Homo-oligomer: A and B are copies of this chain.
Amino acid sequence: MAQAQKITPRAKDFSEWYGDVIAQAQLADYSPVRGCMVIRPHGYRIWELMQRALDDMFRASGHRNAYFPLFIPMSFLAKEAEHVEGFAKEVALVTHTRLRATGKEGAGAIAVDPTSELEEPLVVRPTSETIIYAMFAKWIQSYRDLPLLLNQWCNVVRWELRTRLFLRTTEFLWQEGHTAHADEAGAEQEARLILGIYRRFAEEWMAMPVITGAKTESEKFAGALRTYAIEALMQDNKALQAGTSHNLGQNFAKAFNVQYQTASGGLEYAWNTSWGVSTRLIGGLIMTHSDDNGLVAPPQLAPVQVAIVPIWKTDEERNRLSVVGRQVKADLEKSGLRVEFDDRENMKPGAKYFEWEALGVPVRLEIGPRDLASSQVVLARRSGAKGPVALQSVTGSVTTALDEIQQALFAAARERREKNSIRGTTKGQFLEFMKGGGGFAYGGFCGSPTCEAEIKTQTNATIRVLPDPEFRSKEVPKQCMWCDALSIAEAVWAQAY
């Protein structure tokens, strides 16, 4: 379990704080393999809860899960020009298939067997468009086979130089959806549908408010026609791209010859979409809600939603409390809640509270002999409030508290985001804003990659999205914030993870 608390305050060093929260909550650990993490049970449970929620939404909208190979022949990557350019510098390459003994001892005892070299190197998938659309070409013959709506949950590898737990790791877990449609409208609708699902998941499950919109040419996915994204603002005012959905147009269909016969007998290339969210979301969850006492998990995704801590002095008390505590646990679990009963010996209640706090448990129930005498328990929220509730209605009280906490986390995060957003930004304001800690800066954009590049060089900020109507400012900016030329769209800039 967690060690004694030693979490660096956010105000002191946000990055240190982030690492400390992860260590205290035992979410993940560095592995001996450069850039690869180990996801520990408490962190993996969050991922499983995320998977379950997203998977239900994908399934309800007609998607089916499948599994495609980890390896992609090198030549497949080369078939879509922008795609290979985007990934060539960060792929793990399998070149041999055997080890041989060297006759030495210890670490030098084995080496790669040079006679086992592959004719064509294999790429460990950084994303699976190429291998999946090669299969689509085999499966799709007619308009009757469309739309084809698939998703896979898997691991991918991108050889990153600078890594950080959950946010950027050489290997990460994700889902990648891949679909084929008869026309552009079908693909566009799908890309948008998924963006909506991602937003709903971020807001309703993670309690993490996001803005949605399109990426600019320079920020879109390598090989896509258009990329849509959900973007969230972390507590350090840096943006996190939390999910992307791409309308791939016919780029991959042409590269992999995904053609179908139309109802009238013609032959057309299919239109594709791909979309994904990853274990990076766990990093977003942490940086949206957690505090200087450790992880704050939104109730919907908390591995443990309720920790019951009995407080006893004598064995007789302990036994009585144990009966009641376990009954409460059983009742709460009957309502579908995730509950732990913590009657560990040789550990003071205060130490237990500390530990459950660091683990992000939203509600704690304390029961002592006096509570028992008055048929009540003390309900303490991770957020601070604390008070007695009647034993007989404890399930209702807990459920209500969890709902309120979920709502309050979302409201607080949205309020924070809005407080750290500026609109109608001018160049001068922008420079000051980014120097002063940043946030979301809304301003006019001329559409030129030159402006984007200059801004990035000078402030490290990028256009997160050209926001969807709901997020746009009431006053439409008329000029580019940076060069004063005519604005073609409002943009949202931020420094980003």
Spell out A's residues near B (CB within 8 Å).
29, 31-33, 36-41, 44-45, 47-48, 64-78, 84, 88-101, 106-107, 109-112, 121-124, 131, 134-135, 138, 150, 154-155, 157, 159, 170-171, 173
Name the B residues within 8 Å of A107 (CB-CB). 75, 78
How far is it, in angstroms, between the C-alpha of A89 and the C-alpha of B112 when the chains are bound?
Answer: 10
The one of B31, B94, B99, B154 in contact with A135, judged by C-beta atoms closer than 8 angstroms, is B31
A77–B110 CB distance below 8 A: yes
- In whole Å, how far is A487's beta carbon from the nearest beta carbon of chain B? 37
Interchain residue pairs with CB less than 8 A apart (27): A29-B135, A31-B134, A32-B73, A32-B76, A33-B71, A33-B122, A33-B131, A36-B70, A37-B69, A38-B135, A39-B66, A40-B66, A41-B150, A44-B67, A45-B64, A69-B171, A70-B155, A71-B92, A71-B170, A74-B99, A78-B109, A89-B98, A92-B122, A94-B95, A95-B95, A96-B121, A98-B159
Count copies of this chain in the complex. Answer: 2
Smallest CB gap from A102: residue in B: B78
Most buried by B among A65, A110, A173: A110
A98–B88 CB distance below 8 A: yes
A91–B84 CB distance below 8 A: no
Name the B residues within 8 Å of A131 (CB-CB). 31-33
Name the B residues within 8 Å of A112 (CB-CB). 74, 93, 95, 121
Name the B residues within 8 Å of A121 (CB-CB). 96, 112
B71–A171 CB distance below 8 A: yes
A38–B76 CB distance below 8 A: no
A84–B99 CB distance below 8 A: yes
B48–A110 CB distance below 8 A: no
Smallest CB gap from A155: residue in B: B70
A99–B94 CB distance below 8 A: no
B91–A93 CB distance below 8 A: no
Smallest CB gap from A119: residue in B: B34
Smallest CB gap from A93: residue in B: B96
Most buried by B among A29, A97, A173: A97
What 3 A-B pairs have minimum CB-CB distances, sorted nearest first? Answer: A36-B69, A41-B64, A39-B67
Name the B residues within 8 Å of A93 (CB-CB). 94-99, 112
Smallest CB gap from A96: residue in B: B93
Contacts A38-B66, A96-B93, A112-B95 given; does A138 touch B29 at CB 8 Å: yes
A92–B99 CB distance below 8 A: no
Name the B residues within 8 Å of A32 (CB-CB). 73, 76, 131, 134
Name the B residues within 8 Å of A173 (CB-CB). 67
Smallest CB gap from A150: residue in B: B41
The one of B37, B72, B77, B95 in contact with A96, judged by C-beta atoms closer than 8 angstroms, is B95
How far is it, in angstroms, between the C-alpha of A84 and the C-alpha of B99 when the chains are bound?
Answer: 9
How far is it, in angstroms, between the C-alpha of A107 and the C-alpha of B74 when the chains are bound?
Answer: 8
How far is it, in angstroms, between the C-alpha of A111 and the C-alpha of B32 when the chains are bound?
Answer: 29
- In whole Å, how far is A231's beta carbon from the nearest beta carbon of chain B? 26
- In whole Å, how far is A311's beta carbon from the nearest beta carbon of chain B? 22
Name the B residues within 8 Å of A88 (CB-CB). 98-101, 110
B97–A94 CB distance below 8 A: no
Most buried by B among A47, A90, A107: A107
Smallest CB gap from A120: residue in B: B107
Smallest CB gap from A152: residue in B: B44
Smallest CB gap from A105: residue in B: B78
Name the B residues within 8 Å of A76 (CB-CB). 32
Name the B residues within 8 Å of A96 (CB-CB). 92-93, 95, 121
A38–B68 CB distance below 8 A: yes
How far is it, in angstroms, between the C-alpha of A40 and the C-alpha of B99 when the chains are bound?
Answer: 33
How far is it, in angstroms, between the C-alpha of A74 and the C-alpha of B101 when the chains are bound?
Answer: 12
How far is it, in angstroms, between the C-alpha of A135 and the C-alpha of B88 when the chains are bound?
Answer: 31
A90–B98 CB distance below 8 A: yes
- In whole Å, how far is A341's beta carbon from the nearest beta carbon of chain B? 15
How far is it, in angstroms, between the C-alpha of A45 and the C-alpha of B66 when the chains are bound?
Answer: 8
- In whole Å, how far is A429's beta carbon from the nearest beta carbon of chain B? 41
Contacts A75-B107, A92-B94 given; does A41 touch B29 at CB 8 Å: no
- In whole Å, how far is A246's beta carbon from the nearest beta carbon of chain B? 21
